[in-house]
């Protein structure tokens, strides 16, 4: 997965818009983009006609886990 400006591209080629490349996770598990836009939630969500596959959701989760690990490490003074 890669993020270039406002476009998130999965290894499958599927693209999603994410304002400024920002992806968030709401308390209810909904994935958002920017400050208030839908990215993926559940089948009844904004992208129900083109939902992320389980593999794409795993790819997104792994990407975000790595980003949070980098943030955590920076708080500990790691490089």
pLDDT digits (tens, 9 = 90+) for 21-57: 999 888 887 888 887 777 765 555 555 667 888 899 8
Q: What total of structural domains would you count in the chain?
A: 1
Look at phi and psi of residue 45 and say left if phi exceeds 0, alpha if psi is from -120 to 50, else beta. beta
pLDDT of residue 43: 55
What is the mean pLDDT of the segment spanning 8-14?
A: 95
Strands in the chain per DSSP E: 2-4, 7-9, 15-17, 23-25, 31-33, 37-40
Are 19 and 10 spatial neighbours (Cβ–Cβ below 8 Å)?
A: no
Domain containing 64 equals 2-75
Q: Which of the 8 DSSP states describes residue 71?
A: H
């Amino acid at each position: 997965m890669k993020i270039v400006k406002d476009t998130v591209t999965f290894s499958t080629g599927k693209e999603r818009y994410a304002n400024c490349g920002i992806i968030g996770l709401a308390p209810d598990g909904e994935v958002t983009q920017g400050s208030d836009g839908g990215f993926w939630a559940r089948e009844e969500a904004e992208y129900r006609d083109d939902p992320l596959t389980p593999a794409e959701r795993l790819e997104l989760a792994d990407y975000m886990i790595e980003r949070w690990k980098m943030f955590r490490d920076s708080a500990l003074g790691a490089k």
